[in-house]
Chains A and B, each alone.
Chain A
Amino acid sequence: MKLQLEKRLRLPRFAWFTVPLYSLAFAFGVMFFVLAFFYLGQEQAAGTAFSRSGFALVSLLSTPFSSWFGFFGSLTHMVPLALVALGLSVAYRVKAWNIGGEGQMYLGAMAATWGALFLFPGVSRPWVMLPLLCAMGLAGGAFWALLPALMKAFLRTDEIVVTLMLNYVALFWADFLVNGPWKNPAGFGFPGTASFGVSARFPTVFGAQLHTGFFLPLLVAVLLLLLQQKSAWGFRSRIVGDNPLAARYAGISVRRTGAMALLASGALSGLAGAVQMMGVQHSFQQGFSSGYGYTAIIVAWLARLNPLGILLVSFLFGGMQMGNSSLQMFHGVPSALTPTLQALLLFSLLGGESLSRFRIRWKKPGEVADHG
C-alpha cells in the first residue's frame, strides 16, 4: 500500500482565497502554542501562558495599525526589507538565486559610510549628498555581486553558495573596519564609526517618526513594475525566466541576462544598506542589520516576486519586527518570536499551496499506472 500524490487537474473555485486562509490559520495556531510553551517555560500557570500568548500575538500583529508610533515604526522597518526583496525579485525572476542580500546590504552601507565620512565629508548640501550616497550604496552592492555574476557567466558556477559565502566575508570585513581603521576616536571604545554629518541624513517627517528615505522602496517598486512590463530589459528577463531555450532562440544571451540580474539585485540590496545608514543608524556599526538579507528572501518568495506584493508583505513583516521590539521591552518576549513566526508563515503558505495542488490517494498493491 503506497500513499500516492496525484496532481489535481482543476482547483476548486475559491481556492485562491481559502488556501492561504487555512495556511495562515495553521501558522498562527502553531505559533500560539509555541509561544504558550515559552511562557510555560517561564514558570507560568497554563491559563496565564495561553492568554499571554494570545495577547502577545494579537499585539504583535496589530502593531502597524494600533498607533502612529507603531505605524511609522513598521514603515521604517519595511524600508530595508522591501528594497532588498525587490532586488532579489529581479534576480529570482531569471532564476539567478542570489542569497547574498545580507552581504550586499553591508557593502552598500559601507560604501555610503565611506562616502559620508571619508570621501566627501565636506559636502554640506543634502540634496547633493543624499543622492550621492545612494549612488555609492548602489555601487557597493553591485560590486559585491560582481564576483558571483562573473563566475556564473564564465565558469557556470552556482551562485547560491558563492553569494552565501560572500555574506560572511562582508560581515568580517565590516568587523575589521569598525574595530580598526574606521573606529570612532571619540566613541568611548565602542566599535562603530563616527556619526554622519547632517547633510548625510535623511530629513524626517511626521515629527521625526519617519525618515524620508521611505519613499525609495515605493519608487523602486513602481519603477520595477514599469520596467518589467514595458521595457526591453523587462521583456528579455521574462523570456529568460520562462524558457531559457526560447530566449536563446530569440537571440537573447541568457548568461548576460543572469549576470545583469545579479548585479542589479546586488545594487538594490546595497541601496537598502545605504538607506539604513542615512535614515536610521547615521553611523556604521556591527550588526546593524537584523538579518534583513535573509528575511527578504522569504518576503520575496511569499509575495511571488511581485513588486506590489513585496511592498505589502515587507510592511507586514516590518510591523512584526516593530511589534516584537516593543513586546520585548514591555512584555519580555524575546526577539526570536519574529523569525519563528515568519518561518512558520512561509512553511504554512508554501505547504498549503502545494498541498492544494495535489490529492492524496491510496494506491492498491499491484495496481500499475496506465501508460499511454
Chain B
Amino acid sequence: MGETGVFLVSVLGAAIQSGTPLLFAVLGTILVERSGVMNLGLEGLMLVGALAGFAAASVTSNLLLAILFAMMAGALLGLLHALFCVVLRINQVVSGLAITLLGSGITGLWGTRFAGTTAARFVPVKLPLLGDIPVLGQIFFGHDVLVYVALGLVPLLWFFLYRTRFGMNLRAVGEEPRAADSRGIDVYRVRFLYTIGGSAITALGGAYLSLAANSLWMDNLTAGRGWIAIALALFAGWDPVKALLGATLFGGISALGFHLQAFGVPVSPYLLKMLPYLLTIGVLALTSSERSRRKLGTPSSLGIPYSREERM
C-alpha cells in the first residue's frame, strides 16, 4: 500500500474515532437548533453525560445502564434549558452559557471522587466480516460499539429530517415558525421536546469520552469539544451528513497533526488546533447573505441576533 497509504488509513481511522464525541454532540445540537433554540450549553451537556455515564459504569459495571444514565443526565439539563428558553423566553445565549457553567461546575464537583479511577469501558470491536476488508475495514470497522452507533445515527437522522413528517415539522418550526403555527403545529411543544431529546444525544458524546476514549476519569474531559461542536453545527449547515464529514474533519485535524509530526512534517500544532475555529468563521462569512440563508434552510431564529422580536 505504500507509506502514504498507510498514513492516510491510520489518519482516517483515528479521525473517525476522534470525531465520534463531536458527532454525537453535533447531531444532538442539530435537533435542538433546527427547532430554533440556540444551544450554547454543549460543553456542560457533554460533561454531565461523561460523569453520569462513568458513575453508572463505575457502580454497576453495566455499560447499557451507563449510556442510559448519561442520556438522562443530558435530558435533565436540556429540560432546564428548554424551560428557560421556550417557556420563560429568557435570552437563549445566557441560558446556554449558564448550562455550560452549571454542567462543568457540577461535574467538577461531583467528579472528584472518581478522579484517576477506571470503570467498565467500551473496547474496540472488530466487526467479523466487514472488518477484514482491506482498506475500508481498518478505517470504519475496527472501532467500539459507540462509534457504530454514532455512524448509524447519521443516516437515521438524515432520514428522519428529510423523509418523515416529524422531521418536516421540525424544519418548518425552525425556519418559519409562523407558517408552522398556522398549520396547527404546536411550536412550543416541538421546541421543548427536541431541546430535551437533542441534549440527551449530546450527552452521549461526553459519555463516549469517559467510557471509551479515555481510560481514567479526569477533570475537564471534554477539553473544549463542546465549543467545537457548536462551530461544527454551523459549519455543517445543520445537516447530518455534512456533520459527519465535518466531525471527521475536525476530529481528524488533531489526529492529522499527530501523524504528520510522526512522519516528520513540520506543522504547528497550534495552527492545527485553531483551524476548526477559523474555518467556521470563514464559513459564516460566506453563508451570511440572505440568499444563502434561505437556500440552506437555516433555522430562522439562529444566525439572526436575538434583538429581533419574535412571536415565540
Which residues of A come within 8 Å of B, CB atoms?
5, 34-35, 37-38, 41-42, 95-97, 99, 147, 151, 155-162, 164-169, 172-173, 175-176, 179, 244, 294-295, 297-298, 301, 334-344, 346-347, 350-351, 354-355, 358
Contacts and interface: CB of A to CB of B under 8 A. Distances in A.
B273 A172 contact: yes
Contacts of B107: 336
A41 B110 contact: yes
A41 B94 CA distance: 31
Contacts of B307: 95, 244
B234 A34 contact: no
B93 interface: yes
Nearest to B304: A158
Given A97-B306, A168-B227, A334-B108, A346 B268 contact: no
Given A158-B303, A165-B281, 20 more contacts: A34-B110, A38-B113, A42-B112, A42-B113, A155-B285, A157-B285, A158-B304, A160-B40, A160-B305, A162-B281, A165-B277, A165-B278, A166-B281, A175-B273, A334-B109, A336-B108, A339-B104, A343-B98, A350-B84, A355-B88
Contacts of A41: 110, 112-113
Contacts of B288: 151, 155-158
Contact of A346 (B87, B94, B106, B112): B94
A294 B44 CA distance: 13
Closest 3 CB pairs of A and B: A336-B108, A340-B105, A343-B102
A97 B90 CA distance: 14
Contact of A341 (B89, B100, B105): B105
A80 to B, nearest CB: 17
A97 B93 contact: yes
Given A95-B306, A164-B230, A169 B94 contact: no
Interface residues of B, number: 52
B84 A337 contact: no
Nearest to A155: B288
B109 A336 contact: yes
Given A37-B110, A41-B110, A347-B102, A297 B97 contact: yes
Contacts of A168: 224, 227, 273-274, 277
A175 B270 contact: yes
Nearest to B105: A340
Interface in B89-133: 89-91, 93-95, 97-102, 104-110, 112-113
A157 B284 contact: yes
A160 B40 CA distance: 10
A167 B230 CA distance: 13
Nearest to A297: B97
Given A35-B109, A169-B277, A343 B284 contact: no
A34 B87 contact: no
Nearest to A340: B105
A297 B278 CA distance: 23
Interface in B259-295: 268, 270-271, 273-274, 277-278, 280-281, 284-285, 288-289
Contact of B93 (A35, A151, A160, A338): A160
A350 B94 contact: yes
B231 interface: yes
A160 B87 CA distance: 23
Contacts of A354: 84, 88-90
B80 interface: yes
B101 A343 contact: yes
A335 B84 contact: no
Contact of B112 (A34, A169, A334): A334
A295 B113 CA distance: 26
Contacts of A97: 93, 305-306
Given A99-B93, A165-B277, A351 B88 contact: yes
Nearest to B101: A343
Given A340-B105, A354-B90, A161 B112 contact: no
Q: Chain B's interface: helix, strand, loop or mixed, by majority?
A: helix
Interface in B37-84: 38, 40, 80, 83-84
Given A42-B113, A297-B97, A161 B230 contact: yes
A298 B234 CA distance: 24
B86 to A, nearest CB: 11
20 contacts: A99-B93, A155-B288, A155-B289, A158-B305, A159-B305, A160-B40, A160-B305, A165-B231, A165-B280, A168-B274, A172-B273, A298-B98, A336-B105, A336-B109, A340-B106, A341-B105, A350-B98, A351-B84, A351-B88, A354-B90
Contacts of A160: 38, 40, 93, 305
Interface in B218-271: 224, 227, 230-231, 234, 268, 270-271
Contacts of B93: 97, 99, 160
Contacts of B270: 172-173, 175-176, 179
Interface string B185-204: 00000000000000000000
A339 B44 CA distance: 11
A348 B227 CA distance: 25
B285 A346 contact: no
A147 B285 CA distance: 11
Contacts of B278: 165, 169
Given A172-B270, A298-B97, A38 B110 contact: yes
Contacts of B108: 334-336, 339-340
Contacts of B87: 5
Contacts of B285: 151, 155, 157
Nearest to A148: B281
A346 B306 contact: no
A297 B91 CA distance: 12
A320 B305 CA distance: 32
B101 A342 contact: yes
A345 to B, nearest CB: 9
A301 B278 CA distance: 28
A35 B106 CA distance: 9
Q: Which of A38, A168, A335 has the most CB of B within 10 A?
A: A168
B239 to A, nearest CB: 17
Contacts of B302: 158
B263 to A, nearest CB: 21
